[in-house]
Structure 1
Amino acid sequence: MKFGFWLPVFGGWLRNVTDEDMPATFEYVKELAQNAEDWGYDLTLIAELNLNDIKGLESPSLDAWSTAAAIAAVTKRIEILTAIRPGFHNPALTAKAAANIDHISNGRFSLNVVSAWWEGEARQYGGIFTAHDERYARTEEFIHILKGLWKETPFTYTGQFYQYKNTYLSPKPMKQHIPLYAGGESEAGKQTITKTCDSYVMHGGTVEEITEKINDMKIRRQSLGEKPLETFGMSAYIICRDTEEEVQQELARITEVKEGSPGYEGYKDFVSKSHLNVEVQLKDYSVSNRGLRPDLIGTPEQLAKKIISFEEAGVNLLILQFSPQHTEMKRFAEQVMPLVEKLKKEKQEV
């Protein structure tokens, strides 16, 4: 199991807590990323939103791509998975920038392709926001251009959304292909991911829900005659405490949400504009990406056992959220990550 974490570019993950002692500043995320390498984390995911859907529209949030380049320059080992939304970017310029960050990071850069869901943000920032399935059609062309420019010189393409003629891109990425991750639950989304991406990332879910998703994507990929997807990642929010009483106290604190909270409008837009395969409840809104649904809350031993269950279901990357991030990431790294390996080893020896 690989352990990743969401870089807190929004100043936290809790929609009902104003100050989580994790400011949306580069100094904070730089220190966090550097410490994460020492603590044994494998990956950081940098979300791309121009507005803050966690703390409210007027709250600060960091730009994904400039932050990714800066993090690449001040870290040495961790994979930097950065979101890219085709409706906000020129694919040729994206291919160029991605190749450059890949060199800055010495080959540690990867992309999380997101077809976008926030119509209000698109209006404010001039993004292209169309019908759901058309967004995925655009994404397919976008990815085709990225791959073509990274591999071919010159590159020519004529599609429905983009046209390029004899385009040169140099330098190429270090391995001529930057890994592509994506998530989606709609039929259009799953088809696009199966055809174009290397890895599949999922919102938080139960072991049963995640098992079904993984098996479905494996069958889809096999039907195309493609090599298996490399990574099945899942988002989750962590609550780690010494006793069950402390766990429940913290859970109650972070799920006491009222509909008038600053981030509620973004949540409503996400639910209305996305094609989800489960019914989202207000409790799911309290942290992003359905982070509480995997139920990764408990004592270190309880968490380790639950994580092993997800690994047995096929998850090989957890992308985690914590609050406050420094304290809780360090606690998880010291108390849970070694215990996962210990319990797995004991299980194998039986």
Structure 2
Amino acid sequence: MKYGFWLPIFGGWLRNVEDEKMPPTFAYAQEVIQKAEKWGYDTTLIAELYLNDIKGPEHDSLEAWTTAAALAAVTEKIEIMTAVRPGFHNPAVTAKMAANIDQISKGRFTLNVVSAWWEEEARQYGGIFTEHDARYDRTEEFIEVLKGLWEKETFTYQGSFYQLSNTHLHPKPVQKPNPILYAGGESPRGKETIAKHCDAYVMHGGTAYEITRKVDDMKKLRASFQAKPFQSFGMAAYIVCRETEAEVQQELERITHLKESSAYSGYKDFTTKSQLEQKLELYDYSVSNRGLRPNLIGTPEQIADKILQYEEAGLDLLLLQFSPQLEEMERFSKQVMPLVEEKRKDIVKESTHS
């Protein structure tokens, strides 16, 4: 299992807690990622939103791509996965920027392709926002332009949304044939685009049984397009790790106790402009990215057991959220990661002796 974390660019992940002691500053982001490298984390995901969806649009947040470039220069081994939304970007310029950051990082830059859901943000920032399936039509062309520019000496493209003629892109990315393209989607149209064009599939939680089914379904869909197998299957999750069950429940109550605030301003757009597989409740929305659904909540022993179940279900990457970030990331790295490894070794021993 690889362990990743969402970079704290919004001031936290909890809509019901005002001050999580996680300032949305580059200094804090740099401290988090550099310590994460020392603690054994493999990747970080930098979300891309121009408005603060967690604390409310009037609050500070960091811009994803400039943050990614700066962090690439002050890290050594961690993968930097940055979200990109086609409705806000020129694909040729994006390909150039991504190749440049991949060069800066010596091959550690990857993309999380997101088709976007927040109509109000698009209005404020001049983004292109269309009906759900039409967004994926644009996304497919966007990815075709990225890959064409990264792989070919010169690239010409005539699509419905983008047109290029004998375009040069140099230097190329370090990664061949392209930086890894991650994506998540739950609608049939979204899954089709991901299976056709992306390299890795990321999910927003569910039980181990549900994840097993999703992984199997995406493998079959991928094979139907005669594409190479996915490089990775990941899942987003929020961690609540405590020594006792009573402490776990106390923390869970603290973070999910609903309060009226501007932090819920994007709720309507998220639930009506996306095609979600399951109905979203306010309880789920209280923590960013439906992080409570995987139920990685409990004592270190309980969480380690659940991680191994997800590993058995086909996951090889966890994209985790913590609050407060530094303290809880360190706790997880010291109390849960080694325990997972120990339990995995015990399972292997038992299987060899049986």
- The reply to whether TM is greater than 0.5 is yes
Unaligned 5+ segments in structure 2 are none
202-211 or 52-61, which moves further after superposition?
202-211
Once the two structures are superposed, the pairs formed by residues 15-164 of structure 1 within 5 Å of their partners are 15-164=15-164
Q: Look up the SS of the partner of 1:156 in the other structure.
A: strand
Does the CA contact (< 8 Å) of 2:102 and 2:175 recur in 1? no
Q: Look up the SS of the partner of 2:328 in the other structure.
A: helix
Q: Cα distance, 1:175 vs. partner?
A: 2.5
Query: How far apart in 1 are the matches of 2:276 and 2:97?
Result: 31
For 2:205, the equivalent position in structure 1 comes to: 204
In the superposition, the TM-score normalised over structure 1's length comes to 0.99
Query: How far apart in 2 are the matches of 1:27 and 1:267?
Result: 30
Deviation per CA, 1:158-207, whole angstroms, max 9, x where unpaired?
00000000111101001241110000000110000000000000112121
Does the CA contact (< 8 Å) of 2:236 and 2:319 recur in 1? yes
Q: Cα distance, 1:262 vs. partner?
A: 1.7
Q: CA RMSD in A?
A: 0.7
For 1:253, the equivalent position in structure 2 comes to: 254
Q: Cα distance, 1:268 vs. partner?
A: 2.1
Aligned residues: 349
Deviation per CA, 1:238-297, whole angstroms, max 9, x where unpaired?
000000000000000000013x22211112211111000011111101101110011101
For 1:226, the equivalent position in structure 2 comes to: 227
Which AA in structure 2 matches 1:221?
A: R
For 2:322, the equivalent position in structure 1 comes to: 322
Query: How far apart in 2 are the matches of 1:231 and 1:261?
Result: 37
Q: Look up the SS of the partner of 2:99 in the other structure.
A: helix
Which AA in structure 2 matches 1:19?
A: D
Whether 1:6 aligns to 2:6 is: yes
Query: How far apart in 1 are the matches of 2:291 and 2:83?
Result: 18
For 1:167, the equivalent position in structure 2 comes to: 167
For 2:238, the equivalent position in structure 1 comes to: 237
Deviating above 6 A after TM superposition, structure 1's stretches of 4 or more consecutive aligned residues are: none
Which AA in structure 2 matches 1:247?
A: V
Query: How far apart in 2 are the matches of 1:57 and 1:32?
Result: 24
Q: Look up the SS of the partner of 1:155 in the other structure.
A: strand
Q: Cα distance, 1:26 vs. partner?
A: 0.1
Which AA in structure 2 matches 1:295?
A: N
Unaligned 5+ segments in structure 1 are none
Which AA in structure 1 matches 2:318?
A: L
For 1:282, the equivalent position in structure 2 comes to: 282
Does the CA contact (< 8 Å) of 1:205 and 1:290 recur in 2? no
Q: Look up the SS of the partner of 1:346 in the other structure.
A: helix
Q: Look up the SS of the partner of 1:4 in the other structure.
A: strand
Does the CA contact (< 8 Å) of 1:207 and 1:313 recur in 2? yes
Which AA in structure 2 matches 1:175?
A: Q
Q: Cα distance, 1:223 vs. partner?
A: 1.5
In the superposition, the TM-score normalised over structure 2's length comes to 0.98
Query: How far apart in 2 are the matches of 1:204 and 1:74?
Result: 31
For 1:183, the equivalent position in structure 2 comes to: 184
